[in-house]
Structure 1
Amino acid sequence: MTQKKLYNITTFGCQMNKADSERMAGILENMGFQFTEDPNNANLIVYNTCTIRDNAEQKVYSYLGRQAKRKQVQPDLTLVVAGCVAQQEGEQLLRRVPELDLVMGPQHANRLDSLLDQVFAGNQVVATEPIHIYEDITKPRRESKVSAWVNIIYGCNERCSYCVVPSVRGVEQSRTPESIKAEIEDIARQGYKEVTLLGQNIDAYGRDLPGTTQTGRHLHTLTDLLYYIHDVEGIDRIRFATSHPRYFTERLIKACHELPKVCEHFHIPFQSGDNDILKAMKRGYTHERYRDIIAKIRHYMPHAAISADAIVGFPGETEQQFQNTLNLVEDIGFDQLNTAAYSPRPNTPAALWDNQISEEEKNDRLQRLNHLVAIKAGERSQRYLNKVEQVLVEDINPKDTTQVMGRTDGNRLTFFKGDLQELKGKIIPVKITEVRAFSLTGEALSLVSA
Structure 2
Amino acid sequence: MPSVFVKTYGCQMNVRDSEQVVRDLATRGYSVAASEEEADVILLNTCSVRDMAEQKAIEKIGQFRHLKKKRPHLVLGLMGCMAQSRGASLFDGLPDLDLVVGTQKFHEVAAHVDRLRDGDPAARSPVVDTGAEAGSQNAIRDHVLEPGQRSAFVSIMQGCNMHCTFCIVPSTRGPERSRPIAEIVREVEGLVAGGVREVTLLGQIVNLYGRHEFEKKDGQSPFVQLLRAVAAVPGIDRVRFTSPHPVGFRDDLIEAIRDVPQICESVHMPLQSGSDAILKAMHRGYTAEKYLGLVAKLRAAIPDVSISTDIIVGFPGETEADFEATKAVALAAGFDAAYVFRYSPRTNTPAAALPDPVSEEVKAARNHDLLMAIDGPLKAKSRARIGTVVEILVEGESKTNPTRFQGRTRGNHLVIVERNERWRGQLLPVRIVETTGYTSYAEPALLESDTVSAQTVAFS
* TM-score interval, normalised by the smaller of the two chains: over 0.9
* Partner AA of 2:315 in structure 1: F
1:342-369: CA deviations, max 9, x gaps? 0111111111223110000000000001
Conserved in 2, the CA contact under 8 Å of 1:49 and 1:82? yes
Residue 125 of structure 1 and its aligned partner are, at CA, apart by 1.5
Aligned-partner Cα distance in 2 for 1:138–1:115:
19
Residue 402 of structure 1 and its aligned partner are, at CA, apart by 4.7
Q: Which runs of 4+ in 1 moved over 6 A?
A: 447-450
Conserved in 2, the CA contact under 8 Å of 1:334 and 1:380? no
Partner of 1:15: 12
Conserved in 2, the CA contact under 8 Å of 1:27 and 1:140? no
Aligned-partner Cα distance in 2 for 1:406–1:132:
38
Residue 22 of structure 1 and its aligned partner are, at CA, apart by 0.8
Matches within 5 A, 1:37-186: 37-120=34-117, 122-134=124-136, 135-136=138-139, 139-142=142-145, 145-186=149-190
Partner of 2:195: 191
Partner of 2:440: 440
SS of residue matched to 1:395: strand
Alignment of 1:27 with 2:24, yes or no, is: yes
Partner of 2:299: 298
Alignment of 1:36 with 2:33, yes or no, is: yes
Conserved in 2, the CA contact under 8 Å of 1:192 and 1:235? yes
* Partner AA of 2:429 in structure 1: P
Conserved in 1, the CA contact under 8 Å of 2:276 and 2:288? yes
Residue 85 of structure 1 and its aligned partner are, at CA, apart by 0.5
Aligned-partner Cα distance in 2 for 1:370–1:124:
44
1:167-224: CA deviations, max 9, x gaps? 00111110000110000000000001110000011011011214455x8x6x752111
1:11-70: CA deviations, max 9, x gaps? 000000000011111111111111112112111000000011111111111111121343
Partner of 1:395: 396
Aligned residues: 443
Residue 80 of structure 1 and its aligned partner are, at CA, apart by 1.0
Partner of 1:423: 423
Aligned-partner Cα distance in 1 for 2:402–2:9:
28
Partner of 1:333: 334
Aligned-partner Cα distance in 1 for 2:200–2:40:
32
Conserved in 2, the CA contact under 8 Å of 1:22 and 1:142? no
Conserved in 1, the CA contact under 8 Å of 2:215 and 2:222? no
* Partner AA of 2:189 in structure 1: E
C-alpha root-mean-square deviation of aligned residues, in Å?
1.9
Aligned-partner Cα distance in 2 for 1:130–1:315:
32
* Partner AA of 1:97 in structure 2: L
Q: Tell which deviates more after alignment, 124-133 or 20-29.
A: 124-133
Conserved in 2, the CA contact under 8 Å of 1:393 and 1:428? yes
Aligned-partner Cα distance in 1 for 2:198–2:225:
19
TM-score (norm 2): 0.92
Partner of 1:252: 253
SS of residue matched to 2:384: helix
Aligned-partner Cα distance in 2 for 1:106–1:47:
13
Aligned-partner Cα distance in 1 for 2:244–2:416:
28
Conserved in 1, the CA contact under 8 Å of 2:17 and 2:140? no
Aligned-partner Cα distance in 2 for 1:137–1:409:
26
Residue 435 of structure 1 and its aligned partner are, at CA, apart by 2.6
Residue 414 of structure 1 and its aligned partner are, at CA, apart by 0.7
Residue 304 of structure 1 and its aligned partner are, at CA, apart by 0.7
Residue 128 of structure 1 and its aligned partner are, at CA, apart by 0.8
Conserved in 2, the CA contact under 8 Å of 1:6 and 1:36? yes
Partner of 1:264: 265
Residue 257 of structure 1 and its aligned partner are, at CA, apart by 0.4
Conserved in 2, the CA contact under 8 Å of 1:379 and 1:437? yes
Aligned-partner Cα distance in 2 for 1:119–1:138:
25
Conserved in 1, the CA contact under 8 Å of 2:214 and 2:222? no
Distance 1:83 1:239, change over 3 A: same
SS of residue matched to 2:139: coil
TM-score (norm 1): 0.94
* Partner AA of 1:428 in structure 2: L
* Partner AA of 1:289 in structure 2: K
Aligned-partner Cα distance in 1 for 2:356–2:168:
19
Residue 330 of structure 1 and its aligned partner are, at CA, apart by 1.1
Partner of 2:453: none
The percentage of aligned residue pairs carrying the same residue is 37
Conserved in 1, the CA contact under 8 Å of 2:221 and 2:252? no
Aligned-partner Cα distance in 2 for 1:137–1:346:
27
* Partner AA of 2:151 in structure 1: S
Unaligned segments of structure 1, at least 5 residues: none
Residue 123 of structure 1 and its aligned partner are, at CA, apart by 4.0
